Structure 1
């Protein structure tokens, strides 16, 4: 009997640690376990959010780089259109053909322009003016008598100045007054009448002969003829050159024209002394004059 009692006591002591565990400790163990599982879930959720943020940042970074490259390419393409700042585009500055040509028309002058005058010296200014006025008036009246229109007779203004001699003692002495005056007469389409005008100048006592100039009264008609001739020459030259160069004329960029300076034609055989003294007029041959027009045309080619 004592042995049986000893066995039962031993068994009960062995089970006591489990049976006698306080409930609070068990609850803490359960709560700790649950708490551990909850922490892992929260950690997984934070990790997923951070990954999404990083993915979005990477996407927007790539998009920004692409936009920058695109804008840079567009700017480069626009700048590439011009080689240098201030240089005109190629199709304006390089694609052109410049042609010059001259047109000439031979015209017989229709006006003889005669310049005569008087130069004298008298003791007083009044005497000089009176004598000069009389000589000029006589000449003009005789010219009108030939049937020349008063609009074609032009009397220039008088030029008068005193003349002195200088003595050895440094003083000066007035010796008289010089006076000069010219008259220009236009004779239209009548060379014989022009010769008569020159003779009249000698008859009345005028002593200055400027010459006889053969001129064209209205050059516009002949300038237009010369212009047409020059333009046709330029067009023909441009057509020929375009074929030689293998280009095509597609328009005109600019047109310029100018009339070269012309010199009056004087009758070479005119001499007052050789004709007036003999009572006849000089022989006047107007000949022909050239009316010239120069043109410059710039063509656009391709």
Structure 2
């Protein structure tokens, strides 16, 4: 039998070290900082975003014709009375053409004093009074007749004709372009997903942008020439076409 004799002092030192180790371990576990353990997790990636475009060409269904009356004179009342009389005759003539009163809009009424700038004091020598109208025409065959009629009724301010879309037509055709844009975006998304080897889970966001629809404008007689001073020929005015464009962005969740 082998008997091992240990130094008593050495045994006491080892036991003390073990006790101190466990005390320190307890203190660290109790009040020490938390130990972070790293874990591996897969977070969702960025959305898969695809843009689609939809275009629709449409013929404008509303024409807006602008013209006015302008008078000059020394007496403000006389000038105003003259303009008002001609304006009444003008609006009555427009109504006889079959245009509703609600489609005749006064866009401005202006009174400008005329001054004598040669002599000191800026003395008022007369007044200029003008009134301007915008007439909405839904029957394009009446546009030329309206221009001639306005001239005969006393309109002497050069205006023009713009072709636009009514609110209902604009809404209808914009929706058609929107449907095309969504279909285009979905087709692109499916093609790209197949090529990249990813799966489309669901659409998580949709955004839209539209182009501005500008009226098609046709000027009447050149600026500076009053209508009553010109022999008005029947102009060949065509509404042409307006394009509505819608861009749709679809965001997909993928896996």
Q: For the residues of structure 1 that align with 2:21 and 2:194, how far apart are their CA atoms?
A: 63
Tell me what 2:79 maps to: 128
Tell me what 1:72 maps to: 35
C-alpha displacement of 1:55: 7.2
Q: Could you say which structure has the greater relative contact order, defined with CA pairs below 8 angstroms and 6 or more residues apart?
A: 2
Q: For the residues of structure 2 that align with 1:121 and 1:64, how far apart are their CA atoms?
A: 102
Taking structure 2 as the reference length, what is the TM-score of the superposition?
Answer: 0.79
Of 79, 86, 99, which residue of structure 1 is paired with 2:50? 99
Structure holding more helix per residue: 1
Which runs of no fewer than 5 residues in structure 2 stay unpaired? 1-13
**Aligned partners of 2:94 and 2:150 also within 8 Å:** no
Tell me what 1:191 maps to: 140
Q: For the residues of structure 2 that align with 1:121 and 1:99, how far apart are their CA atoms?
A: 62
C-alpha displacement of 1:135: 1.5
Tell me what 2:252 maps to: 299
C-alpha displacement of 1:153: 1.1
Query: Are residues 55 and 151 of structure 1, via their aligned partners in 2, closer, same or farther at CA, if it must alter by over 3 Å?
Result: same
**Aligned partners of 2:52 and 2:184 also within 8 Å:** yes
The CA RMSD over aligned residues, in Å, is 3.4
C-alpha displacement of 1:66: 5.7
| 2:130 is aligned with 1:180 | yes
C-alpha displacement of 1:184: 0.9
Structure holding more strand per residue: 2
Per-residue deviation, residues 125-153 of structure 1 (Å, max 9, x unmatched): 11221111111111110111111111111
Q: For the residues of structure 1 that align with 2:98 and 2:114, how far apart are their CA atoms?
A: 39
**Aligned partners of 1:199 and 1:282 also within 8 Å:** no
| 2:112 is aligned with 1:149 | no
Which runs of no fewer than 5 residues in structure 1 stay unpaired? 1-50, 82-88
Tell me what 1:259 maps to: 210
Taking structure 1 as the reference length, what is the TM-score of the superposition?
Answer: 0.68
**Aligned partners of 1:143 and 1:197 also within 8 Å:** yes
Q: For the residues of structure 1 that align with 2:102 and 2:212, how far apart are their CA atoms?
A: 27
Size of the aligned set, in residue pairs, is: 241
Query: Are residues 130 and 56 of structure 1, via their aligned partners in 2, closer, same or farther at CA, if it must alter by over 3 Å?
Result: same
Per-residue deviation, residues 94-124 of structure 1 (Å, max 9, x unmatched): 4222222321111111111111112221112
Tell me what 1:32 maps to: none
* Partner secondary structure for residue 137 of structure 1: helix
Per-residue deviation, residues 23-49 of structure 1 (Å, max 9, x unmatched): xxxxxxxxxxxxxxxxxxxxxxxxxxx
Q: For the residues of structure 2 that align with 1:158 and 1:215, how far apart are their CA atoms?
A: 25
Tell me what 1:283 maps to: 236
Query: Are residues 225 and 204 of structure 1, via their aligned partners in 2, closer, same or farther at CA, if it must alter by over 3 Å?
Result: same
Q: Which moved more, 1:105-114 or 1:282-291?
A: 282-291
* Partner secondary structure for residue 244 of structure 2: strand
Rg larger for: 1
**Aligned partners of 1:267 and 1:285 also within 8 Å:** no
Q: For the residues of structure 2 that align with 1:61 and 1:293, how far apart are their CA atoms?
A: 70
**Aligned partners of 1:267 and 1:286 also within 8 Å:** no
Q: For the residues of structure 1 that align with 2:43 and 2:132, how far apart are their CA atoms?
A: 61
